[in-house]
Structures are given as structure tokens and as C-alpha cells.
Homo-oligomer: A and B are copies of this chain.
């Protein structure tokens, strides 16, 4: 039986504010990328999220970001590589400590938002992140967008890499994501599920405009903060059940 990981970004509230439906998503995914104070979260929210993930038996990773809550980590900040290494380490370290308190391990790191976008293309930023992960979570890996510079840099450093594809994003012939501002950027409902099942069967990802691109895959990302997330995750899992794919964490 083919197995695949299903991941989502969770724990993205802050103080009194919530985001998305973490409990519903934790019932569906095998890995949760948990915000750790960069784009979202605070010690209370981290503790609550890790406890909830533990109760659902979901594997948890750290989801560090440019330190920018007002911009939710989606704005580029001009930082030196050393600054990036330091803030990634501090965020991951905070989550690891809260995990030690509640008895939940932090099993991998996945960069968030703009930090992930930049690390997908710029080796200096990718190295800054890999340096932090290698020091703070030795032996643990990075969940990276399949085919990116970050995936290459981590592999070259001997840091385990898990490759993710997105259930709801269009791909280019180069294997990169179609920018959100362009046609075909987003897939919805059954179309997204059908494409995903075909891709998992064949390893060939359909491309916007025709053709396919080969992508390595260890995990499928369902965005956690969109209103459609829970519905899409449910449809994906139903598709998996119908085609004999089991959901299992890559870092179990």
C-alpha cells in the first residue's frame, strides 16, 4: 500500500486571535507545521497547539518565519544570513522547549511564507536556515518545496530533506509554483484531488499550459489557513481511501 504524508500549517493564532480550524485539520493530517512566534503564535498558543497535536497523534514540525506578525511573514525583510540563522534558531528553540514541557517532539522544520519563497531560490538564505536546523535539531530534517534550492542545499549538507507538493497550487514546466497573481495558480475541490491522485500514481505533475513535470514527493501540503482547507483535506483523504493510499508521517 502506497503511503504519503499530509501536512498543514497550524497553530497560527496569536494571543486572543485564532486562525483556521486546527482541531478539524489535526483529525486529517499526519504532520503539522506549528507556528513558533515569527509570523504567528506565542507561548500559550504553542503549548495549546502541541497538546492538541499530541492528542491527535500528529507529528509536529517547527514553522519559522521572518519576524513579522502584522505582515504574517508574507513580506520580504532585508536580513543578513546571520540574522536569519539566529531568528530561525530562536523560534525553533522556543517551540522545542514548549514541546519538552508538553511531551511532544519537534521532528522537522518547514520555513513559512516569504522565508520559504526566498529560500527556494537563494542559496545564501537556504544555507542560513540549514545552519540553524543542523545546530538546533541535529539529525532532524527540513520539509522543503520539491525541487527548490533549499532542498538542494539541505541535501548537500547531509540534512534530511522531505519534499512537498501543494494540492491546490498550479505548477509550471520548471516545477515551480504559478504565482498567485497568474491564471492557473489555484486549484479547487475535485480538480485538485484528481490531479493529486494522478500525480501520486505517476510522479508526473500536470503543468499549467499542458504537459507534466517530474517531482519527488514525501508530503502533500494542504494550506491550513484557507476557509476551504478542511473541505479539501477531507476530499483528498476520501480520494486516498478510494485509491489505496495511506496517510503516514514522513518523520514518524
Interface, chain A (partner B; CB < 8 A):
13-19, 37, 40, 42-44, 46-47, 67, 69-72, 75-79, 82-83, 85-87, 89-98, 100-101, 131-132, 135-136
With contacts A15-B70, A17-B13, A70-B44 known, is A79 near B89, CB below 8 A?
no
A43 touching B83 in the complex, CB below 8 Å, given contacts A17-B13, A70-B14: yes
| Chief secondary structure at chain A's binding surface | helix
Q: Cβ of A15: which chain B residues have Cβ within 8 Å of it?
A: 14, 69-72
CB-based contact B42/A101 at 8 Å: no
B87 touches A131 (CB 8 A): no
- Chain B residues with CB under 8 A of A76: 78
Q: Which residues of B contact A70 (CB under 8 A)?
A: 14-16, 42, 44, 67
Instruction: Check A90/B94 contact, CB under 8 A, given A15-B72, A17-B13, A17-B14.
Output: yes
- If A15-B72, A75-B79 touch, whether A95 touches B98 (CB-CB below 8 Å) is no
Minimum CB–CB distance for A189 against chain B, Å: 24
Q: What residues of B have a CB within 8 angstroms of the CB of A97 in the complex?
A: 89-90, 92-94, 96, 132, 135-136
List of B residues within 8 angstroms of A85 by Cβ: 101
In the assembly, what is the distance between CA of A101 and CA of B76, in Å? 24
A-B pairs with beta carbons under 8 Å apart, 20 shown: A14-B14, A14-B69, A14-B70, A16-B19, A16-B69, A17-B18, A43-B83, A43-B89, A43-B90, A44-B82, A44-B83, A71-B77, A75-B79, A90-B94, A90-B97, A90-B98, A96-B96, A96-B97, A97-B136, A101-B136
Which residues in B have their C-beta under 8 angstroms from that of A18?
17
9 pairs of A and B residues whose beta carbons are closest in the complex: A93-B97, A17-B17, A43-B86, A15-B70, A16-B72, A90-B94, A43-B90, A89-B97, A93-B93
What's the least CB distance linking A12 to chain B, in Å? Answer: 8
Of chain B, the residue at the smallest CB distance from A76 is B78
Cα-based distance from A100 to B133 in the complex (angstroms): 10
Cβ A75 vs Cβ B77 within 8 A = yes
Question: For A43, A76, A79, A135, which residue has the most chain B Cβ atoms within 10 angstroms?
Answer: A43
Besides the contacts A47-B82, A90-B97, what 17 more A-B pairs have beta carbons closer than 8 Å?
A13-B17, A43-B87, A44-B70, A44-B82, A44-B83, A44-B86, A46-B90, A76-B78, A77-B77, A86-B98, A89-B97, A89-B98, A93-B96, A94-B94, A97-B132, A97-B135, A101-B132
- A111: min CB distance to chain B, Å: 16
